[in-house]
């Protein structure tokens, strides 16, 4: 696809500055002047026009899309932006809008869940371009398609559809068959020597259905067959076709016409007909010719195999198909495309055994075009080109190992591309099909089970994901699969345990997997490094930041040697190391490391890549802890907006960003905003993770701090008490969350002027903090500073002065003179400690 480079906003003149995906202009387009005028008139009056078929003449073949194409080319000079959007599958809509984002020059990456919201907003505001036209072609699912419309804006939308329900939400324009004069004109344009009388007889026999008329014209142009002979062939085939018609909407006239063409093709080039049958099993979207050329490595039929192995024979076959108007070749794009009605006709004529054989052939051809790593953005356009054909051919139902491998890579791509709902749906379909076809200990079944669990974890469906992870682990222990797959199943289950809040069990399983991988493969093997990364996460969520730091330092060193400094695996471990360093108490070093890591993400993955946004959240927390409050708050708000627009509010990563924003808003004095967002975030954690998950309890502690600042001490104390009791029971009194809850309870006492109660809690907490983090950990020094205020409130001036001096000196030494905590300690102000949610 060629996309013209964007320019600044301007007044229209000449051709559109951006025009993409529009099908080639039909040189044989005939008539339809009144319909084109109606489209123009309706678009002038309304924002959305739905081009619908006439109710009395079936659902297809009346030329809805051709009318839209002709309108676009006739009026292209009236728009700044024109974009054609195939709308039969949501994945096609996502892909087209993601391409439009690049065409508009928007500073977003290629991921659909970033690009699509950005495009809709750009169109709504008319920036960088107003006066746009979108065409949603073959839009059957009204609710799904409308969800991608811009919410207003300076532009127009055309919808083509067989679904008459569009009349409820758009200005309708019904498209009937040709007038007789239009049929005759098209036939005579295609077959120059055809008389008006003969053209009229043909048109009457074909019911003036545009697609049938065009096909008959192509036949006569190619063969010169007398009209009487052609009409006799039509009459002979009608009864057979009528018997085969699968529904009342089956296009009998065009089916009869095609049947004649297919008969000739069978006699003259049977391999071309088989190629057409294979293409009929795919989607009515462009099929890459490279995929057909890759068929030299597969075996399909004795007739077709030599054609697929010889580029000259393949070119002849596709040329013969195009000559008879059975396919449309786009040499510039290197694609072949079939009309969906043609596909329906051909598939209906196949017996079940032939249909299976041709579907399997389509699957094998798809595997020959399999792209590279699904995590690599440069491969994504190829995956998108294959996706509709993989879905239409039902590749998930294949038991072939190579096809299953392609399906697995496709669902992996959908995760990285950001289409998580679509990816989860396709993964579930594959899981159901493979589980029915193969034993549970089949390697492909185990892998797709883990992938479905992975998707469901990210979508916040924790219980369902956990069941799948446990199933995969149970089967893996006795299945005849490679040892590294067993270790991967252990890591998947460890992640599931973390999501469920069973941090200690996750640590034990991660440690076992790490030890097993180290013994089997050594410290430099990729499997060992993956196990080390999982082990680091489990150590981190258990509060063992020093040991996690040791593991991640070595993993980062090994991954840099193995993959290079800019690999996604390397920078992911470096980001984890920054979190270890921060929580271990070295706030300034953590911030410096994460600033560097974040820049690597931005440079090599783009600013809107999901991994880049995760790294940005880690950086925002590092900045806040290091005392750079303004830079932290600005970044957090940007991250929250990105996660919300990408995944919605009820998503685990969105909740993590929201909780960080709750803290930053409180620190900035935006207490009402902090409380409102805090309550929403706490409810979100309860809904997704449950009432007693450590992350829910961590959110309680941070919300309590905001309530305390608002003077709502009773509610704050209730939250701190509930959280503290549960955390001590589940994680122990030395866990960082338990200690944070204790500091919160001490602050509740202090806010009620209960200095004795505050002194009791702070005095009990300080030895635990010293034992866990050391005397110089900022968390410990915060407790010392607050303890000095407890003593001062009780009139213990000497002890208060001694503890305050100790806190100020320590905070100055480890955080610097400008850090807000050091300032608060020097001014004898109470300090709030904000526990963070550790990414799982």
Which residues, 6+ apart, have CB-to-CB distance to 197 below 8 Å?
none
Give yes or no: residues 113 and 204 share one domain: no
Residue range(s) defining the domain that contains residue 109: 18-175
Give yes or no: residues 118 and 244 share one domain: no
SS3 content of the chain, % helix, strand, coil (to 5): 70, 5, 25
Give phi and psi for 328, each to the nearest 5. Answer: -115, 120
DSSP secondary structure of 433-470: HHHHHS-TT-HHHHHHHHHHHHHHHHTT-HHHHHHHHH
Among 346, 367, 388, give the residue marking a domain's end. 367
395, part of any domain: no
- Give Cα separations from 27 to 66, 190, 258 (angstroms): 11, 10, 21
What CATH number is attached to the domain comprising 739? 1.25.40.10
pLDDT above 80 (res 708): yes
210, part of any domain: yes
What CATH number is attached to the domain comprising 126? 3.40.50.300
DSSP state of 133: E
Give yes or no: residues 194 and 168 share one domain: no
The H-assigned helical ranges of 311-461 are: 311-323, 340-349, 352-368, 380-392, 401-417, 420-437, 443-458
pLDDT digits (tens, 9 = 90+) for 62-77: 778 888 888 999 998 8
Give phi and psi for 438, each to the nearest 5. Answer: -125, 160
pLDDT digits (tens, 9 = 90+) for 269-310: 999 999 999 999 999 889 998 888 887 778 888 999 999 999
How many contiguous H segments (helices) and E segments (strands) does the chain have? Answer: 38, 9
The residue that leads in pLDDT, 322 or 755, is 755
pLDDT digits (tens, 9 = 90+) for 587-642: 999 999 999 999 999 888 888 878 899 999 999 999 999 999 999 999 999 999 98
Give yes or no: residues 216 and 316 share one domain: yes
pLDDT above 60 (res 59): no
If we measure between CA atoms, which residue out of 611, 581, 610, 609 comes closest to residue 594? 581
Q: From CA 657, how far away is CA 243, in angstroms rounded?
A: 61
The residue that leads in pLDDT, 8 or 53, is 53
Q: From CA 88, how far away is CA 60, in angstroms rounded?
A: 14
57, part of any domain: yes
Q: Is 224 helix (H, G, I), strand (E, B) or coil?
A: coil
Q: From CA 253, how far away is CA 260, in angstroms rounded?
A: 11
Give phi and psi for 754, each to the nearest 5. Answer: -90, 75
pLDDT for 349 equals 81
Give yes or no: residues 206 and 155 share one domain: no
Which residues, 6+ apart, have CB-to-CB distance to 495 below 8 Å?
454, 457, 469, 506, 534, 537, 840
224, part of any domain: yes
The residue that leads in pLDDT, 264 or 291, is 291
835, part of any domain: no
pLDDT above 70 (res 56): no
Give yes or no: residues 213 and 118 share one domain: no
pLDDT for 47 equals 65
pLDDT for 5 equals 38
pLDDT above 60 (res 52): no
Among 333, 367, 401, give the residue marking a domain's end. 367
- Give Cα separations from 466 to 434, 476, 480 (angstroms): 20, 15, 23
pLDDT above 80 (res 11): no
Give yes or no: residues 132 and 214 share one domain: no
pLDDT for 375 equals 77
Which pLDDT band holds residue 242 (cuts at 50, 70, 90)? very low
pLDDT above 80 (res 809): yes
Give yes or no: residues 171 and 187 share one domain: no
Tokens of 422: 């679509």
CB atoms within 10 A of CB 226: 11
Q: From CA 328, how far away is CA 333, in angstroms rounded?
A: 12
Give yes or no: residues 117 and 192 share one domain: no
Query: What is the gyration radius of the CA atoms in the chain, in angstroms?
Result: 33
815, part of any domain: yes
Give yes or no: residues 194 and 315 share one domain: yes
11, part of any domain: no
Looking at the DSSP assignment, which residues form a beta bridge with residue 20?
83
pLDDT for 10 equals 38
Mean pLDDT of 551-576: 93
DSSP state of 556: H
Strands laid side by side in the 287-288 sheet: 287-288, 335-337, 328-330
Among 367, 383, 418, give the residue marking a domain's end. 367
Which pLDDT band holds residue 330 (cuts at 50, 70, 90)? confident
Give yes or no: residues 670 and 788 share one domain: yes
Average pLDDT over the chain, rounded to an integer: 89
Q: Which of 139-148, 352-361, 405-414, 660-669 has the lowest mean pLDDT?
A: 139-148
pLDDT digits (tens, 9 = 90+) for 458-486: 888 999 999 999 999 999 999 999 999 99
Q: Is 58 helix (H, G, I), strand (E, B) or coil?
A: coil
pLDDT for 346 equals 86
517, part of any domain: no
Q: From CA 208, how far away is CA 185, in angstroms rounded?
A: 11
Tokens 């001096």 found at: 805
Structural domain count, the chain:
3
Give yes or no: residues 37 and 121 share one domain: yes
Strands laid side by side in the 155-160 sheet: 18-20, 81-86, 132-137, 155-160, 48-53, 171-175
pLDDT above 80 (res 227): yes
If we measure between CA atoms, which residue out of 86, 90, 124 comes closest to residue 104? 124
To which H or E segment does residue 211 belong? helix 210-223
pLDDT above 60 (res 55): no
């Amino acid at each position: 696809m060629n996309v013209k480079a964007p320019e600044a906003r301007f007044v229209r003149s000449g051709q559109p500055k951006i025009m993409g995906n529009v099908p080639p202009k039909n040189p044989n387009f005939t008539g339809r002047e009144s319909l084109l005028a109606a489209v123009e008139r309706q678009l002038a009056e309304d924002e959305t026009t739905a081009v619908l078929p006439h109710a009395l003449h079936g659902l297809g073949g009346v030329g809805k899309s051709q009318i839209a194409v002709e309108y676009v080319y006739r009026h292209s000079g009236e728009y700044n932006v024109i974009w054609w959007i195939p709308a039969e599958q949501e994945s096609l809509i996502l892909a087209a809008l993601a391409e439009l984002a690049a065409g508009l020059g928007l500073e977003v990456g290629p991921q659909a869940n970033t690009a699509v919201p950005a495009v809709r907003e750009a169109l709504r505001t008319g920036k960088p371009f107003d006066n746009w036209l979108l065409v949603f072609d073959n839009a059957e699912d009204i609710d799904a398609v409308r969800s991608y419309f811009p919410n207003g804006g300076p532009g127009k939308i055309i919808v083509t559809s067989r679904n008459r329900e569009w009349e409820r939400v758009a200005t309708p324009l019904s498209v009937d068959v040709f007038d007789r004069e239009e049929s005759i004109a098209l036939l005579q344009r295609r077959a120059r020597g055809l008389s008006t009388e003969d053209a009229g007889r043909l048109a009457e026999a074909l019911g003036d259905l545009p697609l049938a008329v065009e096909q008959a014209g192509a036949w006569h142009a190619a063969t010169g067959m007398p009209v009487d002979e052609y009409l006799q062939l039509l009459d002979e085939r009608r009864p057979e076709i009528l018997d085969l018609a699968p529904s009342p909407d089956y296009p009998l006239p065009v089916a009869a016409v095609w049947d004649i063409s297919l008969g000739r093709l069978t006699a003259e080039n049977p391999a071309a007909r088989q190629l057409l049958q294979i293409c009929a099993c795919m989607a009515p979207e462009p099929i890459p010719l490279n995929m057909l050329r890759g068929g030299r490595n597969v075996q399909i039929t004795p007739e077709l195999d030599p054609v697929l192995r010889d580029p000259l024979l393949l070119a002849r076959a596709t040329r013969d198909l195009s000559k008879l108007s059975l396919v449309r070749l786009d040499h510039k794009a290197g694609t072949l495309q079939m009309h969906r009605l043609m596909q329906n006709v051909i598939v209906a004529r196949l017996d079940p055994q032939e249909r299976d054989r041709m579907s399997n052939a389509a699957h094998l051809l798809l595997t020959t075009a399999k792209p590279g790593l699904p995590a690599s953005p440069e491969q994504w356009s190829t995956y998108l080109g294959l996706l509709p054909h993989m879905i239409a051919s039902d590749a998930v139902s294949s038991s072939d190992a190579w096809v299953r491998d392609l399906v697995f890579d496709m669902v992996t791509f959908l995760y990285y591309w950001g289409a998580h709902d679509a990816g989860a749906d396709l993964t579930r379909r594959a899981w159901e099909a493979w589980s029915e076809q193969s034993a549970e200990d089949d390697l492909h079944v185990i892998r797709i089970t883990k992938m479905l669990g992975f998707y469901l974890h990210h979508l916040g469906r924790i219980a369902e994901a956990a069941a799948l992870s446990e199933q995969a682990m149970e089967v893996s222990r006795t299945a005849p699969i490679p040892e590294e797959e067993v270790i991967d199943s252990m890591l998947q289950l460890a992640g599931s345990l973390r999501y469920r809040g069973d941090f200690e069990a996750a640590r034990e399983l991660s440690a076992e997997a790490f030890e097993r991988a180290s013994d089997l493969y050594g410290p430099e093997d990729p499997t060992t490094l993956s196990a080390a990364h999982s082990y680091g996460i489990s150590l981190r969520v258990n509060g063992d930041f020093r040991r996690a730091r040791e593991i991640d330092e070595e993993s980062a060193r090994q991954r840099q040697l193995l993959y290079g400094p800019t690999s996604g695996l390397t920078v992911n471990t470096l980001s984890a190391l920054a979190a270890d360093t921060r929580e271990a108490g070295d706030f300034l070093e953590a911030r410096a490391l994460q600033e560097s890591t974040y820049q690597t993400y931005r440079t090599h993955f783009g600013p809107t890549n999901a991994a880049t946004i995760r790294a940005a959240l880690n950086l925002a927390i590092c900045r806040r802890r290091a005392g750079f409050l303004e830079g932290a708050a600005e970044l957090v708000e940007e991250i929250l907006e990105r996660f919300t627009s990408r995944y919605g509010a009820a998503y685990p990563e969105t909740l993590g960003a929201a909780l960080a924003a709750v803290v930053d808003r409180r620190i900035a004095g935006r207490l009402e905003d902090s409380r409102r967002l805090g309550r929403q975030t706490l409810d979100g954690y309860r809904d997704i993770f449950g009432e007693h998950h450590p992350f829910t309890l961590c959110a309680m502690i941070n919300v309590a701090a905001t309530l305390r600042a608002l003077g709502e001490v009773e509610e704050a104390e209730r939250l701190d008490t509930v959280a503290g009791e549960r955390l001590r029971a589940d994680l122990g009194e030395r866990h960082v969350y338990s200690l944070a809850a204790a500091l919160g309870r001490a602050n509740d006492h202090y806010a009620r002027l209960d200095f004795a109660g505050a002194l009791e809690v702070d005095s009990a907490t300080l030895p635990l903090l010293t034992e866990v983090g050391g005397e110089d950990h900022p968390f410990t020094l915060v407790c010392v500073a607050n303890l000095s205020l407890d003593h001062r409130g009780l009139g213990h001036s000497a002890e208060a002065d001694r503890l305050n001096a100790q806190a100020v000196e320590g905070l100055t030494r480890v955080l610097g003179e400008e850090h807000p905590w050091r300032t608060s300690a020097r001014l004898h102000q109470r300090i709030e400690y904000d526990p963070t949610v550790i990414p799982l």
